[in-house]
Structures are given as C-alpha cells and as structure tokens.
Structure 1
Amino acid sequence: MFFKNIRNGDNADVEEGKTSQHSVTPASVEIPDGGYGWVVVFANFLLFISTWGSNTSYAIYLADYLRNDTFSGATKLDYGAIGGLTFGAGVLFAHLINFLIGKFGFKQVMFVGMLVQFAGVFIASYATKLWHLYLTQGVLQGFGLALLFMPGFTIIPQWFKRKRVLALGLVSSGSGSGLLFNLGMQKVLERFGYKWALRTQSFICLFLNIIVLILMKSRSKHIKPSYKIYDKVIFQSFGMWMAALYQFLAILGYIAILYCLSSFTQSLGYTPFQGSLVSSMVSLGAFFGRPLFGFLGDKFGPVHMGIISSMLSALFSLALWIPARNLAAAVAFALVAGAICGTIWVIFGALAVRVVGMQRFQMGLALGLVVLSTGSITGPVITISLTTGGAANPKQYQHPAIFVGVCYFVSGIVLIVLRAWLIARDEIALSDGDYLKEGEMDIHISVPPSKVIANLMRIKGPRKT
C-alpha cells in the first residue's frame, strides 16, 4: 500500500506541473485554514524532526571528531565545511528540485530524498577517510534533506491563510527534537562509538520519513504553483531579494549558534555530555518559541516579528553569550537562542507568500533556499575560523558571538527596508485600483526607491506586514 501510494497517490501533482502556468487569481482560490491541513502540519512536524532536528546532532559528532582527531589530517575547518554541506549542498539546487516536483510529483521526489538521506547517514558510519565523510555526512545527507524538505514545506501555505504563520511555527518547532537527538545520540556515541550513533540515527529518520510520505497531501491542483526553473519576475523583485538577504544573514548567525554551543561549553571545562546538553537546549527553546512567534506573526505580521526576533537575537548574542562563564549561563543563552534565533524558519515562508504570492511561492522559496545554502555552507567555516585560543580558553568564542550579533542586527535592518517596500507597494496598488484582498498579484508593481525611503519610519501601512 505504501509503494502504491508513492506511485499513484501523487499523479495529480504531475499533471499540475504541466498546467501550472495557467492564470489563477488569489481571490478564486479557497484556502481551508484547517481541516486536513492540520494532518499536513503534523506530517511536516515529523519531517522537521527527521531532517533539521536530526541534523542538529552534528554538533555532538563535530565535538567528537575534534576531540579524538577521528580522521587523520582533518582540520576544524574541514569538519565545519562538512556541517555546512549538510545544510546547504542540496538546497543550492532548489530551483531544479522545484522543477522535478512539477515533473514527477512531490511524493516521488520526497521518496528519493528519504533514500538519499538514509544512505548518507548510514554509509557515513563506515567512512575511513575524510573525503568519505565529505561525500556521505556532508553532500549525500545534504541532498537528502533538500529533496525531503522543499516538497513538504511548500505545501503548508496551500492549506492556511489566516493561521499560516502559526502553522509554519508549529511545523518548524519539530526541529526542537534536536533535544532528543543530541542527548540520545550522545549516549549511544559514548557507549558504542560514533559509528553506531550514525546508524541508529539513520534508521530513526527512515521510519519517520515513511510516516511523513503516507500522511502528506498537496492542494497544488487548486493553487497551480509555478514549477519553472527560472522566473524573470522573481529574479527582478527587489522585495524577494531583500527577503533572501534576510535569510542569508539569519542563517549565518543561527548555524554558528547551532554548531558551536557544544564545543563552546567544553571550552569552559565541561564534559562532552554537558556540551550536548547545552546544545540540546537550543532545540528545547525552538520547540516552545517558534509556535509563539508563529501565533504573534499571524496577529502582527511576519515582517514585524522578523524584525523583533532579529534585534533580540543580536542583543542576546552579545549580552548573554560573550559573558557566559558557567554551565547555567550557557544553558540560559541556549534556551533564549533556540526560542528567538531560529525563527527564520517561521518567518521566511510567510514572507515569500507576502512578496510573490501563492502561485510563485515555490519559486520565491527556491531563490531564498539557494541564497540560504551559501550561508549554510560558509557559516560553519567562518565561525570555526573565528575561534581563538585553546580548548579551555573561556574567551575562545568571543569573536563568533560578535559575528552572530552583527549578522542578526543587519538582518533586522534588511527587514525594516523590506517593510518599507511592502508599504509603498501596497499604497501604489491601492491608488491604481489594483488592490486585491490578499495582494498576491502586486509583484508586478514597480516601487520607486524614494517611496521606500519615505516609508522607513512609517508606523502603520494599509495592509498587515
């Protein structure tokens, strides 16, 4: 039954890929705002557990590789690059993945991603040379995550409108399962070694992904999204590039926190298990913080919540991380960082819909993911290269903390500019009589820079941002 569902359950989506260029106005599309959409939210929640949640456990592998010099000749930059590839190697090809979804169907693409992710993590347990680890835990796992994540994540906005940001927050809180992966895999690693930890992780993810494939359901036949590899309108949209720049800067900061806290805690003189405990607190914070930001995003607008979360992330990175000198302080920062710093996964999906509309959402998301991949690949390398001193130096991670703070502060500034652009575009649409209730076709409107500047300090616009 499972394989029949994979082969036949998504045939409509293949046909949708062929007819996705037909014009559909937002007003003509009914969004359920619930119903089976909550099952889709649960499926995506499990998907976040098996992808980004499991990937947070790389922090304990990273610490183990560095501590034991597992692969001869490998440097800390090598291990940082592998972690970056896991995040970014696959999503770099987001536009191609989007095309494959339209060509073959989203479940077929996810099925391949499930097998690729399993192969990458499982085969990594047999790696004996550094380049083996690059290909398996880095590249293969990265492609598996992307082939799973993009088809599943793009379905959520099809089911929700008024509760869209809340749904994205609930889904992305699934990465909070990193708490279980960090603590669980750390115990397996300590008792049986990193190889068995990798094998255990691969089978857990495989089991979860099978459930995801059974439950997932698309509404693409109603939305008729674009599955093109290239969309000129998207690439010429100032607003979309601002949203992508926000994502780039935010992911630089988030990955630095995600991958560094375990080794940072050990640099203070604590044990590897205590390091994994602190790292897992990021996941615990995300589990509670992301749904809250999703709820507030629906109430006050995703851009506003993105600005608030970026500025708070910058503040706490400088005020809590730099002076942290004991386990309690490290745990406190990890919890706050998890609740606030990772809201990029909550905000960006809603931002993309707000900027480019439902039909072009997948194209907008693809552009954002390509930009995100550059930050994901380079972020760990930059962060690790900024560390100074020996393993027990309490100031070792001061420069990475400053780097994180600057990234989040600038990302907040970018969102302020994007907010001004959206307000200006809304006003032009309204004055031209082209104002739609959802405003999802306003992407064609040209916004003069002078109007953007004039709205930078605007308190309230004609539409929720």
Structure 2
Amino acid sequence: MTGQRNVSVVFSKILLVLCCCQLSTDRNMGSSKGFETPRGVIQPLDGGETTERGSENGPTDTEKPTHEEEEFKEGGYGWVVVAAVWLILAHSFGINSMFGVFLAFYLAHDHFPGATPLQFAFVGGLSFSVAFIISPFATILFNKVGLRVTVIIGGLFISGAYIGASFAKTIWELILSQGVCYGLGMGICYTATAGLIAKWFKKRRALANGIATGGTGFGGLTYSLAANAMIQRMGIAWTFRIMAIICFVVLITSALFLKERNQGTKISATAFDFKLFKLPDFWLFLGWAWLSSFGYVAVVFSLSAYAQQVGFSAQQGSLVSAMFNLSTGIGRPIVGFMGDRFGTIRVTTLGTFISALFTFFIWIFGGKSYGALMVYGLLGMFPSIMWATFAVMTASIFGLEKMQPVISLSTLTLALPYTFAEAIALSLKKPGRDGFLDVQVYSGAMFVAATICSLALTIKKGELYGRKKDD
C-alpha cells in the first residue's frame, strides 16, 4: 500500500510538471484559445497576462477596474459639461431668482387689475414648488428620452412660459405661465443635470459642482439688472419676449454639449425608491435640507423688504439682494473647493453653523447699519450653502448608485418648505424698525437645527475628525 501511494504521488507530480510546461508554451506562443480552470475560462491578454471569465456568472475582467481607474481623468470634457450646466442653471433657477424685479413692477403698476400682492407673491413661490414636485416625473422623462432631449423639453417650457406671460391679461394667466409653466421647465432642467457633474469628477467633484451651481447667482445678478433696464425702456411684455428668446437659445445650445459618463458603476434611475424612507441617513439628510430651506428662503426673500423697513431706499434694498446673488455665484465654487479639501459633509456642517452665527450676530445686531447689512449680503454663500453642496452630499452619503432616486424624492418633498417658508416669515413680520426681529430669530434657529442634522451625518460618516471620507 505504501509503494502504491508513493507511485501515485510521483505520477501526480509528473502530471503537474507537464501541465506547467504546457501553460508556459501556450503563453510564449501567444495562444488565444485559453484553457479551462475550475472557475471558468482564462483568456490571455497582450503581453501574456490573463483574465478570468466565469462560465456561469458572465465575464469578469480582473484587469478592467484597474484600466478604468487609469482611464478616469479629472477635467477634460467634464469641464465642458460644467460650463453647460452653469449656463442652464443661470437661465433657469438664476433667472427665476430675479422675480423680485417683476414683483416690484406688478406692485407699482395696475397691469393686472384686481390682483392682490399675495397673488403676485404666489406666482414666485409656485414656480419653486412646481419645480420640486415635478422632479420624480422629470426622472421618468429622463429615463425615456435621455439627457439632452430632457433639457431641451425643459427649455421649451421655460421659453413658452415667458411668451405666455407676455400676453397675459389676468392674474390667473400669469400664475399658469410665469408660475406653473416656468416651474415645470425649471424642475425638468434641474433634475436632468443635478447628478451629472458627480459622474465626471472624483477628486474635484465638489469644486466642479460649486462652479456649476454658481451659475444661479450670476444669472440672478445679471438678469436682475438687465430686466429692470428692459422694463423701463420697452415695457413688461417685450421684456418677457426678449427673455424667452435668450432662454431658448442658451438652453437649447447648452443641452447639445451635455454628455453622460459611464464610470462602470450601476446607477439607479428609479424615480420613486420609497425604501429610502427606511434609512436613518435619509431622514437626517431631509432634515438638513428642509431646515436649511426654511432659513434660506426667509433670508433671501426678506433682505430687500427689511432694508426698506429700517429706513433705506428701495434701490439700496435691491443692491443688498444683488450682493447676495453675487456672493452666491462667487462663493459656491469656494465652498466646493473646501469640500474637496476637507470633506463635503464636514464643510456643509460648518457652513450651515456659520449661517446661524452671521444671522444672529450680523443681521440682528448690525442690520440697521447699511454697511453691516451689505456685509451680510456679501456673505450669502453661507445661507445658500445647501444648493452648493446638495448634489455632492447625496453622492457622499448614499453613493452614485442611489444618487438619482435620493435627488428625486428629496426635491419632491422640498416643495413644502419652499411653498410655505416665506408665508411663515411674513406672518412673523411686524410693523416698525424692529418688525423683522422674529423673522431673523426664526431664520437663525432654522440654521441651528439644520446644523444638528448635518452634524449627525458628519459623525455617522466618520468626518468629524481626521481625513475626509465622503469621496
């Protein structure tokens, strides 16, 4: 028995040596036929390297992830996409932020007989709420027709809204055009492009997203000044028509330069993933977004009115709002750069807390001084930090796979705070120089509460101390 066992061992070793020799011969000859292994078929690559393909589970190229990692380079066409998204946001959310110019005209002129100030205010709020409500349906449209066509459809809605508003004779026609129709286009454009930058960047993801979202601030600043001049010279109707032509040309052209990038990651395109509501992180994320929105809306819609109530002119009040938009445009890329350097969630938490401090200590205690009020306007990058980091936060917390459904559901729910935030702020306003005190305290308190939610996410993601981990 011992002799037979020794013979078997020797025979096995001989077979093993022969197999190794055959394998070596195949590699040297550059054979492309491959050979069988217990796990499947191994095919030779250039230079004699091999990859394994599972016979049951489909191809799995062990060299592919490394190759994709080498292929992924920051910049390149991704910066073209950033520029296109910048223009799209400038001519959707950016132009909508200049609604105060139109509102001032409506209140000063009897262009819509019988309309009340509350109805005019409802037009501006409705455009935001519709934009958020349409988000999941815009995702479905995106899945059906693709990125470029979706943005083009959104651009047609925006242009059509302003054309319709130019012919509006009653308040309800204005609500349906400048309110509902514009909101549909704005929501479609935002939903289609919200997660696009994250697919093109890794190391500079927050910076690129900050540059792109900065278009909102520059769009609001530029067109606020332009629209006011056009209204004075050509009237409200032709102002709407010129804005419609500009939006049509810029949005359609920008859409043609958009391009998706497949990073090899399976990205969910589901519009309604209600399983997200089972995740504590999703509730914390919603808490941060909701509370930040309550504070942001109360600030951005109240600055001009506050300036006039404490004794400054309407022109001075509009200048404060313009500086707020300028700070938003310049500050968002800075926030993005800091997010790439120190961690997006950590920077968002700190920025939200700074918003609370500035609201309490600059706006409340120094707001009656025009210089201090201008300083607060120039620090608008902090109260508006939510939209500088919103998309990157979703990628950092939930990953690219769940990014689209998180954006869809969260923006859908944001319709509520954006609809009622200013109504709450106006209900807190009282007459007199100190009439906005409750509004100021309310805004600061919202930023504090949002900081708590963001801080909880920071701790859960391990970003409170040490190096950033959200990328």
TM-score by length of 1: 0.81
What is the deviation of 1:163? 0.7
2-structure distance, mates of 1:462, 1:255: 30
Residue type of the alignment partner of 2:448: F
List aligned pairs for 1:226-237, cutoff 5 A.
Answer: 226-237=268-279
2-structure distance, mates of 1:68, 1:253: 31
Q: How far does the alpha carbon of each residue in 1:264-293 deviate from its partner, in whole angstroms, 9 at most, with x for none?
A: 333344444333222111111112211111
The change in CA–CA distance for 1:265 and 1:70 in structure 2 (over 3 A counts) is farther
1:152 is aligned to 193
2-structure distance, mates of 1:320, 1:157: 35
The change in CA–CA distance for 1:122 and 1:374 in structure 2 (over 3 A counts) is same
The change in CA–CA distance for 1:85 and 1:223 in structure 2 (over 3 A counts) is farther
1-structure distance, mates of 2:468, 2:430: 49
1:49 is aligned to 90
2-structure distance, mates of 1:176, 1:148: 16
1:100 is aligned to 141
1-structure distance, mates of 2:192, 2:358: 34
1:335 is aligned to 378
The change in CA–CA distance for 1:366 and 1:325 in structure 2 (over 3 A counts) is same
The change in CA–CA distance for 1:251 and 1:210 in structure 2 (over 3 A counts) is same
What is the deviation of 1:45? 0.9
1:244 is aligned to 286
1:165 is aligned to 206
Q: How far does the alpha carbon of each residue in 1:159-196 deviate from its partner, in whole angstroms, 9 at most, with x for none?
A: 01111101111111111221111112122223334333
Assess if the C-alpha contact under 8 Å between 1:89 and 1:377 holds in 2: no
What is the deviation of 1:78? 2.7
Aligned-pair Cα RMSD in Å: 2.6
List aligned pairs for 1:105-184, cutoff 5 A.
Answer: 105-177=146-218, 178-184=220-226
2-structure distance, mates of 1:225, 1:256: 35
Assess if the C-alpha contact under 8 Å between 1:186 and 1:273 holds in 2: no
1:404 is aligned to 443
Unaligned runs of 5+ in 1: 1-22, 427-457
The change in CA–CA distance for 1:183 and 1:262 in structure 2 (over 3 A counts) is farther
The answer to whether residue 313 in structure 2 is matched with residue 313 in structure 1 is no
The change in CA–CA distance for 1:193 and 1:380 in structure 2 (over 3 A counts) is farther
Assess if the C-alpha contact under 8 Å between 1:315 and 1:405 holds in 2: yes
2:465 is aligned to 459
Unaligned runs of 5+ in 2: 1-59
1:444 is aligned to none
Match of 1:218 among 245, 252, 260: 260
Structure having the higher Rg: 2
The answer to whether residue 326 in structure 2 is matched with residue 287 in structure 1 is no
Q: How many residues align?
A: 406
Residue type of the alignment partner of 1:417: A
Secondary structure of the 1:395 match is coil
Match of 1:200 among 232, 242, 256: 242
Match of 1:374 among 416, 438, 458: 416
1:413 is aligned to 452
Assess if the C-alpha contact under 8 Å between 2:343 and 2:468 holds in 1: no
The change in CA–CA distance for 1:49 and 1:219 in structure 2 (over 3 A counts) is same
Match of 2:230 among 178, 184, 188: 188
Assess if the C-alpha contact under 8 Å between 2:359 and 2:443 holds in 1: yes
The answer to whether residue 105 in structure 2 is matched with residue 64 in structure 1 is yes
Match of 2:81 among 40, 46, 62: 40
Residue type of the alignment partner of 2:93: W
Query: Mean Cα displacement is larger for which, 173-182 or 187-196?
Result: 187-196
Q: How far does the alpha carbon of each residue in 1:9-45 deviate from its partner, in whole angstroms, 9 at most, with x for none?
A: xxxxxxxxxxxxxx99996865432210011011111
Assess if the C-alpha contact under 8 Å between 1:311 and 1:412 holds in 2: yes
Assess if the C-alpha contact under 8 Å between 2:140 and 2:271 holds in 1: yes
Assess if the C-alpha contact under 8 Å between 1:84 and 1:381 holds in 2: no
Secondary structure of the 2:92 match is helix
Q: How far does the alpha carbon of each residue in 1:382-404 deviate from its partner, in whole angstroms, 9 at most, with x for none?
A: 22333222xxx433333222221
2:131 is aligned to 90
TM-score by length of 2: 0.80
Query: Mean Cα displacement is larger for which, 71-80 or 43-52?
Result: 71-80
Residue type of the alignment partner of 2:423: V
2-structure distance, mates of 1:422, 1:250: 20
Residue type of the alignment partner of 1:250: S
2-structure distance, mates of 1:153, 1:122: 26
1-structure distance, mates of 2:404, 2:425: 30
Secondary structure of the 2:321 match is helix
The change in CA–CA distance for 1:397 and 1:197 in structure 2 (over 3 A counts) is farther
What is the deviation of 1:326? 4.5
2:428 is aligned to 386
The answer to whether residue 355 in structure 2 is matched with residue 355 in structure 1 is no
Residue type of the alignment partner of 1:228: T
2-structure distance, mates of 1:196, 1:115: 18
1-structure distance, mates of 2:313, 2:229: 13
What is the deviation of 1:235? 2.8
What is the deviation of 1:336? 0.9
2-structure distance, mates of 1:84, 1:27: 47
What is the deviation of 1:62? 2.3
Residue type of the alignment partner of 1:329: A
Residue type of the alignment partner of 2:185: G
Q: How far does the alpha carbon of each residue in 1:50-84 deviate from its partner, in whole angstroms, 9 at most, with x for none?
A: 11211111122223333446544444433333222
1-structure distance, mates of 2:101, 2:371: 19
1-structure distance, mates of 2:445, 2:113: 35
Identity over aligned residues, as a percent?
29
Assess if the C-alpha contact under 8 Å between 2:155 and 2:189 holds in 1: yes
Secondary structure of the 1:60 match is helix
2-structure distance, mates of 1:66, 1:268: 20
Residue type of the alignment partner of 1:164: R
Match of 1:301 among 343, 358, 362: 343
Q: How far does the alpha carbon of each residue in 1:353-382 deviate from its partner, in whole angstroms, 9 at most, with x for none?
A: 122211221111112211222222222222
Assess if the C-alpha contact under 8 Å between 1:243 and 1:418 holds in 2: yes
What is the deviation of 1:417? 1.3
The change in CA–CA distance for 1:173 and 1:129 in structure 2 (over 3 A counts) is same
